[in-house]
Amino acid sequence: MRSFFPFCCLLFVMISVSNAQNSNVNSWIEDIDIYKRKLEENHIDLYHTISKQQFDLEIKKIKESLQNLEDFQVIIELMKLTQRVGEGKGDGHTSIPLWGMSLHEFPIKLFDFENDLRVIKVTEEHKHILGKQLISINDVSIKEVYSKVSKLTPFTENKQSSMDRTCSYMIVSEILNGLNIIGKENEAKFTFMDDKGILETLILKSYSKSELTALKYSEYSILHPEIKTPIDAKFPNLWFTPLHNKKTIVIKFKNYPSEKDMNNFSEDVYNYIQEHKSSSLIIDLRDNYGGDFFMGQILASWLNACDSIKWSTNVYVLVNRKTYSAAMVNTIQFKQILNAKIVGEPTGANPNGYQDMGTFNLPNSKLLVTYTKRLFRFQDMNTMGVQPDILISPSFEDFKNGYDRVLSKVLNEINN
């Protein structure tokens, strides 16, 4: 009789846990069904790359695995499937980007120099590892980590965007934990190697976004000594500055403003060029993640009215792997409308493909899903990224020395 009460308590606990698990599984099943239905209803052409049969099979596999998956592992499986809609090379706007989630990151920033992952930003506490190669995480080779993370990254359309996005997502502790690369969400063992082949291992802690902003960092900065943000710039990521006795205008175009603000900014540029008879124009679209490409056309229309520009040879657009979406579109349009030469590395977005993003949230998990609404073709030939007229790939030595080789190349051409 004495053992009956503890037995009942244990049974009650087991039943409660079982009911909670079943409830969670049922919630995910509902979310997954809505995920599939809304993608089919809203995507312009969901099965352009993955077949409906294969998509349905992957959905079935995820549902059958729900009892054995933690919530974030379910999210990871959906991220993998969503990326397969474009196979990571043709439909970056169909994704699960994890926006708004309370995630934690390790306080380092990585850059992929063609399979050579280097630390380009780290906390002051560990500034001695700046520039070192990342070799492994929790004794899992970086090659394996990179391979696993690259299969789930959102907004991935080509090699350039894969390099960018994978470096960003492989420092998210929840992702590393969900992929069974680390056992604890809040810390992991990172192994680095210097250029002499000497290894060093650090135990790093992960932090929330608010905690990360409070930390002090050492980092590499790619700068040009002649380029500085004007004191009177109205926007931190859209401004212009003159060089060469005001004969060269450099426009830093890193973000898209409203239509009114773009018109006002473009008019200011136009008036300056007209007043000083500027003859050379450089539009820097590096690190521009996109927006409304029609705003770029407003800028082009004002610039096109400037007769002093030497349109046959002296117009340039600077791009890199972080030139995405609308910025990629404007790169092509500036080449067409302004006769610009494109300089840098291929863009992270493709000129022909599925773009223009819509969104919806799943009701139970609140997970955000994005999808493509349009199919655009901006050039006759299909290429992975907009291919530069002058190709300049990033190098670690340039990062280490803070040398902006792309802008320096253009300024040298203008001077000559």
| CATH, domain range 238-349+385-415 | 3.90.226.10
CATH 2.30.42.10 maps onto the chain at 104-219
178-197 average pLDDT score:
93
CATH 3.90.226.10 maps onto the chain at 238-349+385-415
pTM of the complete model:
0.90
380-405 average pLDDT score:
94
Q: pLDDT band at residue 3, thresholds of 50, 70 and 90?
A: low
Is the pLDDT assigned to residue 6 strictly greater than 80?
no
Among 64-73, 76-85, 164-173, 182-191, name the one with the lowest average pLDDT. 182-191
102-120 average pLDDT score:
96
197-213 average pLDDT score:
96
Q: pLDDT band at residue 1, thresholds of 50, 70 and 90?
A: very low
358-370 average pLDDT score:
97
pLDDT of residue 225: 87
Domain 104-219, what fold?
Answer: Pdz3 Domain (2.30.42)
Q: pLDDT band at residue 14, thresholds of 50, 70 and 90?
A: very low
Is the pLDDT assigned to residue 13 strictly greater than 50?
no
295-313 average pLDDT score:
96
Are 217 and 124 contacting, i.e. CB atoms less than 8 angstroms apart? yes
80-87 average pLDDT score:
90
Residue 380: CB atoms within 10 A of its CB come to: 7
178-200 average pLDDT score:
93
pLDDT, the chain, mean: 92
Give the pLDDT confidence of 316-349 residue by residue, as tens digits. Answer: 999 999 999 999 999 999 999 999 999 999 999 9
22-27 average pLDDT score:
84
